[in-house]
Amino acid sequence: MLSTEQNPASLPEPQPLARAFAKHLAIVTAFNIVIAIVGTYALHLEGSFIQNLVFSLCIGTIAYLLIDGARTLLWGTGMPPRLPFIGIVIVAMPLAKVAGSRLATHLLDLDPEMVAAHTWRNTSSTFILTALSCAIVSWFFWRSGEVAQLKLTLEAAKARAAAIEKQALQAQLQMLQAQIEPHMLFNTLANLQALIAVDPPRAQHMLDQLIQFLRATLSSSRAGQTTLGQEFALIDAYLGLMAVRMGARLSYALHLPEELRELTVPPMLLQPLVENAIKHGLEPNVDGGRIEVSASRDAQRLTLRVADDGLGLAPASTSSGTRVGVANTRERLQALYGEHAAFSLEPVAPHGAAATITLPL
């Protein structure tokens, strides 16, 4: 719905730390399993796969906690500087190796001396595995930081673009709506001015009706949205005003099912179509005519129809739609609903015209 409120763009909230921690921990665990497989079956480290897996999980998890914990404490969710981050990785890996090995030795209830001897016998393989792990962990956390920073930047840009687009849309809708109100008022005041000279009592009656109509419409026309019941009440007040001017030449009927009265619609959506029907269909007709305004619902679609039995459409009307009421209605619907709304202006047999608006519910 049309809204006159303007909210400043706000930066998107960063990914919650708990969720990011769980995600990274799952990735690190999968990486540790791969390291255990490589160490056991490719580098042929001593010990069973289970033993190597426990060592890999302990060392890798502690390395993750040290690296990511330091990164979060120092830079939060922001992108860390390259050299300080590499320094943290270089310091964290030996500490994780020592602490993780001791923890795994304790969990597996192994002899520390046997573990030390095992490590010494596999110095080259352990060095290759540690260096590989260090390189991969450094790359992973660095890329994670880059991706997170890019996402934040992209989301912030999207939020700013959405805010600018929203402000432009609101300005456009306010401009279109502002065109509708003077269009109706100037026509009415011009007729009132002409009527004062020839029929003062009738002019006074029209002025009273105009005051009543303005009281009902001015606040609604500035609102961001209105109900269908309020919109039909405004149409009723407007047609009552026109009936004073046209007398017996104008008759009208409004059809609004009770269950549709509380549906929200853009304000002043039907009034320009009713005005258009009177100005171009009924007033030029010597006998005047009748207007019927109706609302109906079909599943998730709302259909609003303004039909008259006046002179009908001029040839240019069906193609160009340049009349103010029709043009503004098309532009407002396009701005508010895009391709989800439809508008048509068609001739009615044997004579007259019907404007139909279809909106999504």
Position 163 scores a pLDDT of 64
Listed residues 160, 183, 212: the one ending a domain: 160
pLDDT for 259 equals: 92
What mean pLDDT is reported for the chain? 76
Residue 67: how many CB atoms within 10 A of its CB? 23
Q: pLDDT tens across 211-225, in order?
A: 877 776 665 555 567
Residue 173 lies in a domain: no
- Output the pLDDT for position 252: 92
Same domain, 230 and 331: yes
Cα distance between residue 94 and residue 112, in whole Å: 18
Which residue in 109, 112, 106, 64 sits closest to 88, CA to CA? 64
- Residue 282 has phi, psi (to 5 degrees) of -100, -45
User: What pLDDT does 121 receive?
Assistant: 60
| Residue in this structure with the two tokens 């099912």, named with its chain if needed | 257
| Same domain (yes/no): 210, 328 | yes
pLDDT over 50 (residue 101): yes
| Percent of the chain topping pLDDT 90 | 10
Residues 155, 157, 158, 163: what is their CA dihedral angle, to the nearest 10 degrees? 130
Residues 154 and 205 reside in one and the same domain: no
303 has pLDDT over 90: yes
More confident residue, 54 or 134: 54
Residue 276 has pLDDT above 80, yes or no: yes
How far is residue 336's CA from residue 13's CA, in Å, rounded to a whole number? 28
Residue 13 is predicted with a pLDDT of 43
Query: Does the residue 190 lie in any domain?
Result: no
Indicate the pLDDT class of residue 133, thresholds 50, 70 and 90. low
Task: Quote the pLDDT of residue 5.
Answer: 37
Q: Which of 42-46, 77-81, 125-129, 355-359 has the lowest mean pLDDT?
A: 125-129
Q: Which two tokens stand for residue 5?
A: 């409120």
pLDDT of amino acid 258:
93
What the block records as the tokens of 211 is 């005051």
> What is the model's pLDDT at position 304?
94
Residue 312 has pLDDT above 60, yes or no: yes
Residues 40 and 153 in one domain: yes
In a domain, 9, yes or no: no
- Number of domains composing the chain: 2
19 vs 255 pLDDT, higher one: 255
Residue 244 confidence class, pLDDT cut points 50, 70, 90: confident
Q: Is 7 a residue whose pLDDT tops 70?
A: no
Q: Please state the rounded mean pLDDT for residues 32-54.
A: 78
Domain membership flag for residue 2: no
The answer to whether residue 7 is domain-embedded is no
pTM of the model: 0.50
pLDDT at 284 > cutoff 70: yes
Is residue 19 over pLDDT 80? no
Do 98 and 147 share a structural domain? yes
Instruction: State the distance between the two ends of the chain, measured CA to CA, in whole angstroms.
Output: 11
SS3 label, residue 181? helix
Q: Which element (helix H / strand E) includes 303?
A: strand 301-308
Whole-number pLDDT of residue 273: 87
In Å, how far are 48, 102, 174, 308, 311 from 350, measured between CA atoms? 93, 96, 38, 11, 10
Residues 225 and 275 in one domain: yes
**Are the C-beta atoms of 189 and 203 separated by less than 8 Å?**
no
Contact 283, 327 (CB under 8 A): no
Query: Is residue 236 scored above 70 in pLDDT?
Result: yes
Q: Is 165 part of a structural domain of the chain? A: no
Residues 214 and 321 in one domain: yes
Is the residue at 186 inside a domain? no
Most confident of 62-71, 105-114, 147-156, 343-352: 343-352
125 & 222 share domain: no
Same domain, 214 and 103: no
Does residue 248 register a pLDDT over 80? yes
Tell whether 153 and 225 lie within a shared domain.
Answer: no
Query: Given pLDDT bands bounded at 50, 70 and 90, which one contains residue 132?
Result: low
Q: How many Cα atoms are found within 13 Å in the side-chain-facing hemisphere of 43?
A: 22
Question: 354 with 211, same domain?
Answer: yes
- For residue 318, the model assigns a pLDDT of 45
35 and 94 inside one domain = yes
Report the CATH number at residue 332. 3.30.565.10
Residue 260 pLDDT: 92
State which residues form the domain around 39. 17-160
Per the model's pLDDT, the better-predicted residue between 9 and 96 turns out to be: 96
Helix, strand, coil share of the chain (percent; to 5) = 70, 10, 20
Mean pLDDT throughout 124-135? 64
Give the mean model confidence (pLDDT) for residues 137-163.
70
What confidence score (pLDDT) does residue 295 get? 93
Q: Does residue 42 fall inside a structural domain?
A: yes
β-sheet with 342-347: strand ranges across: 250-255, 289-298, 301-308, 353-360, 342-347
